[in-house]
């Protein structure tokens, strides 16, 4: 009840973020139910249905990542001295965050079920009812238990991940203690190694004929399994290297005698390397996969179907939203320092300039990287 | 509008201000002469911080006038007041409010860097004041590694290194122990007097107020001639809590 009461007084932006979690969860629920209907209408092709189901794991992972980011930045679940004084410490607040996540994700799943039944033609009275009756196997009865299990998948994983990510680990810092700046993130060697290995595996697998093959969703010709493994390795490598690259960008900003604005912008980027770098690396990996896939579908026989489109949109939207949420969180975390700078008379313009500089340097480093990885990953498939 | 006196650096007339309906200032008039240390002395909640924020142009009072060097401050647009704060004023708060990402010397040199002073010169100036305040060897540390007293010294160095015309100090020693407090104040005031910086010092501590050239007493947002009545009230509260 407290979670609901706190949600009622929350800022519209916070509510919007939760609504986005619900939407993402609805999308995943719909995709999972569609995979179920494929299994219902093609009883003989269990391996193909299983493949469809496993492709749904990527949107599910993106949704869970986004839900955790939202739970982490939710102001109503941040440790507050006032609530701590009445006995609502960090442990209880983690529970509260998990409950909020469950609420929004479950809401999304319910909407997904209603929409699914509506498109199947089971619920009537609205426009488009039964519009996708054939695709969604309307002639077969829906197995209730299977549908419910699939629908609870997103809320359950999101809740578990949020509770795990927010569990209180260390003792609370004293209120007047300054936060210790985190050490420089490692992971650049590992990231580079994984990315390089992924590209090598992909290229090698594309040349070898007669191995295990996997079909991309919505596409007819199969690709060697090794190519997809290579892609996955590359994506993991980029995500691992993200924080270290962000840290490097911060260092890059302050080269050659920085003035006040460049100094602050660079140091802030270095301090936030962990917070922003990870989602940025994931987004970079997703973007490079999207570019490579685009090149692939462009070279292939036809455009992809609506479900593949939904899944891809979901993944891209979730990773982008996760990055934006992390940026908002970082902004909140330095609000005290900004207040101090305002007292010194630092103009509002300089903060905007610093933010612009950070965005620019990140773009300059990450955009060519994404493009290069995408080109290299797509080369063996299209060439 | 009454013309402000010539020898006052900062001058305020009948300032009224309230926060969300609760009154903070109820008609305060004040003049600060050039090079003097003026203590604004009053108990907690008497409107000292609000007065300092109005005088330094961070807040515009609901009613009343503020002028700096003979020209009106309260009518200036926000960016002009920001520039004034950056180039002519300095601020020391009860918390040091250092930027945690920057090292000690970078924090101290920050106002100079924001003004566009070359890095080398800003560093030299900041280092000079850090040495003056006995924290020179800590210049390469980050603020989190420093004690509260050391951080407050960095904030002081940051304020003085920028060579301001007016220094606003809002309870600069409130979070310090007696020993640290006395030492920091003595060093600070000696440095200020040798550079003829005008200081407005808000404090609830009579010992601190006694170090100033002149004291303005503030009770419930009004200037009073002495603080005896308010002080006895404060003492009574203290004895209950001990």
* Predicted-assembly ipTM surpassing the 0.85 threshold: no
Residue after which a domain boundary falls, among A168, A196, A226: A168
State mean pLDDT over A53-68: 90
pLDDT top residue among A175 and A316: A316
What is the average per-residue pLDDT within B43-54?
89
What per-residue confidence (pLDDT) applies to A366?
93
Query: Do residues A383 and A236 both lie within one domain?
Result: yes
Confidence (pLDDT) at A275: 87
Residue A341 and residue B99: Cβ atoms within 8 Å?
yes
Least confident range from A102-116, A119-133, A190-204, B35-49: namely A119-133
Mutation for testing the B interface, residue in A176, A178, A330, A338 having most B CBs under 10 Å = A178
pLDDT at position B222: 86
Pick the residue of B57, B93, B97, B106 with the most A CBs within 10 A to test the interface with A by mutation: B97
Instruction: Please report the pLDDT score of residue A383 as a whole number.
Output: 56
Identify whether residues A196 and A336 lie together within a single domain.
yes
Highest mean pLDDT: which of A176-180, B171-175, B232-236? B171-175
| pLDDT level of residue A369 (50, 70, 90 thresholds) | very high
Q: CA torsion angle for A14, A20, A25, A31 (degrees, to 10)?
A: -170
Beta strands in chain A (DSSP E): 213-215, 222-224
CA atoms within 13 A on the CB side of A137: 15
* pLDDT in the model for residue B241: 44
Q: Is the pLDDT of residue A363 over 90?
A: yes
A175 domain-assigned: no
- What would the mean pLDDT of A142-147 be, rounded to a whole number? 85
B65 lies within 8 A of chain A by CB = no
Within 8 A of B110 by CB-CB distance, chain A residues are 260, 264, 341, 344
So what's the pLDDT on residue B96?
A: 80
**Long-range pairs of A127-136 with CB within 8 A, sequence gap ≥ 24:** A135/A34, A135/A37, A136/A33, A136/A34, A136/A37
Question: Which of A178, A179, A346 lies nearest to residue B114, judging by beta carbons?
Answer: A346
Q: Which domain, by its residues, includes A130?
A: 1-168
Inter-residue contact A47 to A100 (CB < 8 Å) = no
Are the beta carbons of B113 and A179 separated by less than 8 Å? no
The pLDDT score that the predictor gives to residue A322 is 93
The pLDDT, as a whole number, for residue B127 is 92
Q: Which residue has the higher pLDDT, A154 or A8?
A: A154
Same domain, A112 and A42: yes
Same domain (yes/no): A255, A375: yes
Residue A319's pLDDT is 93
The fraction of chain B above a pLDDT of 90, given in percent, is 9
**CB neighbourhood size of B123 (10 A):** 18
Q: Please tell me whether residues A8 and A157 are part of one structural domain.
A: yes
Position with higher pLDDT, B241 vs A15: A15
Same domain, A215 and A72: no
Q: Are residues A59 and A191 in the same domain?
A: no
| Cα-to-chain-centroid distance, residue A181 | 26
Chain A residues within 8 A of B53 when measuring between CB atoms: none
Q: What is the pLDDT of residue B79?
A: 86
The DSSP call for residue A18 is H
Q: Which of B101, B106, B122, B159 to mutate to test the interface with A (most CBs of A within 10 A)?
A: B101
Do the domain assignments include residue A259?
yes
- On whether residue A206 sits in a domain, the answer given is yes
User: Measured between alpha carbons, how far is A342 from A346 in angstroms, rounded to an integer?
Assistant: 5
Task: Give which of B180, B174, B166 is closest to B203, Cα–Cα.
Answer: B174
B220 touching A (Cβ < 8 Å): no
Rounded Cα distance, A330 and A271, in Å? 10
Our CA angle for B70, B71, B75, nearest 5°, is 145
Supply the pLDDT for residue A184: 75
Using one digit for the tens of pLDDT, what is the confidence trace for B110-119?
Answer: 888 888 888 8
Q: Is B139 helix (H, G, I), strand (E, B) or coil?
A: coil
Average pLDDT over residues A258-286: 88
Listed in sequence order, the residues at least 6 apart from A239 whose beta carbon sits closer than 8 Å to its beta carbon are A191, A278, A281, A282, A284, A285
Last residue of a domain, one of A168, A203, A229: A168
CA-based nearest residue in chain B for residue A344: B86
Q: Which residues of A touch B142 (CB under 8 A)?
A: 180-181
Q: What is the pLDDT of residue A28?
A: 94
Domain assignment present for A177: no
Domain count, chain A: 2
User: In this structure, are A262 and A146 located in the same domain?
Assistant: no
At A280 the pLDDT is 92
Q: Is residue A243 located within the same domain as residue A367?
A: yes
Q: How many CB pairs under 8 A join A and B?
A: 91
Which pLDDT value is given to residue B147?
Answer: 86
Percent of chain B, pLDDT > 70? 91
Residues A133 and A62 in one domain: yes
In a domain, A80, yes or no: yes
pLDDT for residue A321 is more than 90? yes
Do A75 and A139 sit in the same domain of this protein? Answer: yes
Quick check: B238 pLDDT over 60? no
Predicted confidence (pLDDT) at residue A128 exceeds the cutoff of 70: no
- Report CB contact under 8 Å: A346, B102: no
In a domain, residue A179? The reply is no
- A368 located within any domain: yes
Q: Is residue A52 part of a domain?
A: yes
* B86 contacts A263? CB cut-off 8 A: no
Closest CA to A7 of A87, A76, A67: A76
**Secondary structure element (H or E) that encloses residue A234, with its range:** helix A225-253
CA pair distance A248, B89, nearest whole angstrom: 36
* Boundary of a domain, candidates A108, A139, A168: A168
Q: Does B84 touch chain A (CB under 8 A)?
A: yes
**Residue for token digits 């009106």?**
B72
Pick the closest to residue A33 from A153, A131, A129 (CA basis). Answer: A153
A46 in the same domain as A109? yes
Average pLDDT of every residue of chain A: 82
Q: For B97, which of A181, A258, A340 is closest by C-beta distance?
A: A340
Residue A333: HSE in the Cβ half-sphere, 13 Å Cα cutoff: 20
Burial of A220 (0-12, 13-18, 19+ CB in 10 A): exposed
Q: What's the rounded mean pLDDT across residues B83-112?
A: 87
Going by C-alpha positions, the residue among A250, A262, A226, A239 that lies closest to residue A370 is A239
Of A178, A339, A344, the CB nearest to B144: A178
Q: pLDDT digits over A212-248, tens only?
A: 566 666 555 566 677 778 888 888 898 889 999 999 9
pLDDT range class, residue B242, cuts 50, 70, 90: very low
| Stretch 134-173 of chain B: residues touching chain A, C-beta under 8 Å | 142-144, 148, 151, 158
């Amino acid at each position: 009840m407290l979670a609901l009461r706190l949600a009622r007084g929350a800022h519209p932006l916070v509510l919007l973020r939760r609504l986005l979690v619900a939407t993402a969860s609805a999308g995943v629920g719909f995709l999972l139910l569609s995979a179920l209907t494929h299994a219902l209408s093609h009883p003989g092709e269990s391996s193909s249905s299983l493949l469809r189901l496993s492709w749904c794991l990527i949107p599910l992972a993106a949704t869970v990542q986004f839900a955790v980011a939202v739970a982490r930045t939710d102001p109503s679940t941040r440790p507050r001295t006032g609530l701590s004084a009445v006995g609502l410490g960090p442990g209880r607040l983690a529970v509260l965050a998990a409950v909020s996540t469950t609420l929004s994700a479950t809401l999304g799943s319910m909407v997904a079920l209603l929409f699914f039944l509506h498109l199947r033609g089971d619920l009537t009275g609205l426009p488009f009812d039964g519009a996708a009756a054939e695709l969604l196997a309307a002639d077969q009865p829906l197995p209730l238990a299977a549908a419910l299990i699939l629908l609870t998948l997103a809320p359950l994983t999101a809740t578990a991940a949020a509770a795990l990510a927010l569990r209180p680990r260390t003792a609370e810092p004293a209120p007047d203690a300054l936060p210790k700046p985190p050490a420089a993130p490692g992971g650049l060697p590992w990231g580079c190694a994984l990315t390089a290995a992924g590209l090598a595996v992909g290229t090698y697998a594309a040349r070898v004929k007669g191995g295990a093959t996997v079909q991309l969703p919505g596409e007819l010709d199969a690709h060697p399994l090794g190519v997809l493994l290579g892609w996955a390795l590359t994506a993991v490598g980029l995500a691992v290297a993200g924080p270290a690259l962000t840290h490097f960008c911060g260092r890059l900003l302050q080269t050659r005698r920085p003035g006040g604005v460049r100094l602050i912008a660079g140091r802030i980027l270095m301090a936030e390397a962990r917070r922003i770098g990870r989602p940025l690396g994931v987004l970079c990996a997703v973007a490079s996969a999207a570019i490579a896939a685009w090149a692939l579908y462009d070279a292939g026989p036809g455009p992809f179907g609506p479900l593949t489109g939904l899944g891809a949109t979901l993944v891209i939207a979730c990773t982008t939203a996760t990055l934006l949420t992390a940026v908002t969180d970082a902004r909140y975390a330095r609000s005290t320092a900004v207040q101090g700078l305002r007292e010194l008379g630092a103009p509002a313009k300089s903060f905007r300039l610093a933010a612009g500089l950070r965005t620019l340097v990140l773009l300059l480093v990450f955009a060519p990287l994404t493009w290069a990885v995408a080109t290299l990953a797509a080369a063996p498939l299209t060439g | 509008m009454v013309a402000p006196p010539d020898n006052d650096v900062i001058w305020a007339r009948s300032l009224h201000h309230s926060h969300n309906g609760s009154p903070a200032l109820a008609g305060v008039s004040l003049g600060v002469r050039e090079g003097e240390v003026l203590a604004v002395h009053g108990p907690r909640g008497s409107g000292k911080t609000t007065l300092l924020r109005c005088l330094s142009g961070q807040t515009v009072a609901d009613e009343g006038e503020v002028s700096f060097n003979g020209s009106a401050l309260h009518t200036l647009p926000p960016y002009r007041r920001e520039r004034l704060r950056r180039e002519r004023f300095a601020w020391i708060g009860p918390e040091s409010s250092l930027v945690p990402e920057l090292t000690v010397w970078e924090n101290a040199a920050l106002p100079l860097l924001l003004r566009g002073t070359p890095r080398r010169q800003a560093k030299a100036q900041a280092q000079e004041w850090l040495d003056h305040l006995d924290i020179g060897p800590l210049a390469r540390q980050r603020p989190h590694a420093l004690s509260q007293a050391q951080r407050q010294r960095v904030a002081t160095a940051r304020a003085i290194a920028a060579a301001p015309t007016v220094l606003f100090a809002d309870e600069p020693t409130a979070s310090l122990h007696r020993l640290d407090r006395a030492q920091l104040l003595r060093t600070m005031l000696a440095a200020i007097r040798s550079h003829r910086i005008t200081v407005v010092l808000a404090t609830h501590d009579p010992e601190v107020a006694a170090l100033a050239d002149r004291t303005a007493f503030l009770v419930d947002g009004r200037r009073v001639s002495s603080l005896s009545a308010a002080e006895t009230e404060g003492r009574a509260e203290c004895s209950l809590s001990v």
